[in-house]
Amino acid sequence: MSEHAADWYPDPAGRHQHRYWDGTAWTEHVSDHGRQSVDPITVSAPLPTTGMTADKIQAQVQGKAGVAASGAAVGGLMDQRVLVVNQKAKLIELNTEYAVYDEAGTQIGAIRQVGQSSLKKVARFVSSLDQFMTHSLQLVDMQGNVHLTVTRPAKFAKSKVHITDGAGNEVGSIIQQNMIGKIRFSLEGAGQTLGSLNGENWRAWNFNMQDAVGNEVARITKTWEGLAKTMFTTADNYVLQIHADLPEPLRSLVVASAVSVDLALKQDSRGFG
């Protein structure tokens, strides 16, 4: 971080939305949804894991999502053509967590919720009021470096999800277009519509992603997690397949979409997935 100017950046400890970097070191000053407070920086929270074996991840990719094996995955978290996003199974979900794998079944990152107050956790435990609250998730690599932050502001009906990069710079937005029928989102960035995210049935189970001229560039497939897990936990699993090299910010919006669908829809009524 030494090359970065003093400013607010995503909290590397994973406890808050932002932490203040004074130009040489992280400080105790933090911010969540525009509210500042103090929290001395200590050891980062451990990254969420799901205990999934490589064989089970490959079964999701090849058997359930129908993606042909392509050998050992190469490149970093944001370079992958296939990402498997598995939510950590919990009987009661007070803090949303996912593990992120490459197609070979190696965990290469995680998604963690940040900026949750104690009041919000209580609301999630006793009611569904949290659907009207602001939620933020960070996509991080195994070293805890933040690559994307996905924030859904407090809402009543349609969702609008904002995406920023690892330095807190704006990437774009994913905006829900309808509430009835096959759910659609627009992918917005640089002041224009860059593409769309389109549900393929009324349950919003699988999605295709298209560029601005209607070419399919990626797909999200929800993989069946088993009847017992579906009935008794809140976990959802997804496979993201990117068909081609994409320019920024479209590529980051496509990667963020794998989380944004769950955040925008399942977070509301638990009834879309």
pLDDT for res 266:
56
CB of 157 closer than 8 Å to CB of 216:
no
Angle at CA 40, nearest 5°, toward 38 and 43? 140
pLDDT for res 33:
84
Angle at CA 202, nearest 5°, toward 196 and 203? 100
Per residue in 147-200, pLDDT (tens digit) is 999 998 876 678 899 999 998 899 999 999 998 888 899 999 989 999 999 999
Q: Is the pLDDT of residue 93 over 50?
A: no
Q: Is the pLDDT of residue 231 over 60?
A: no
Contacts of 76 (CB under 8 A, 6+ apart): 108, 141
Instruction: Enter the CATH code of domain 54-269.
Output: 2.40.160.200
pLDDT for res 218:
97
Q: Is the pLDDT of residue 209 over 90?
A: yes
Looking at per-residue confidence, does 227 or 66 come out higher? Answer: 66
Q: Where are the alpha helices (DSSP H) in the chain?
A: 54-58, 118-126, 227-232, 250-261, 267-269
Query: For 32-49, what is the mean pLDDT?
Result: 82
Q: Which of 256, 262, 263 is nearest to 77 (CA)?
A: 256
Query: 99-113, 183-197, 201-215: which range is least confident on average?
Result: 201-215
Give the three-state DSSP class for 237: strand
* DSSP category for residue 95: S
CB of 257 closer than 8 Å to CB of 207:
yes
pLDDT for res 14:
83
Q: 259 falls in which pLDDT band (50, 70, 90)?
A: confident
Q: What are the boundaries of each domain within the chain?
A: 7-38, 54-269
Q: In what order do the strands lie in the sheet with 26-32?
A: 7-10, 18-21, 26-32, 35-38
Query: For 118-145, what is the mean pLDDT?
Result: 66
- CA distance from start to end of the chain: 39
Contacts of 208 (CB under 8 A, 6+ apart): 197, 198, 200, 216, 218, 219, 220
Angle at CA 137, nearest 5°, toward 89 and 105? 50
> Is the bond preceding residue 249 a cis peptide, omega within 30 degrees?
yes
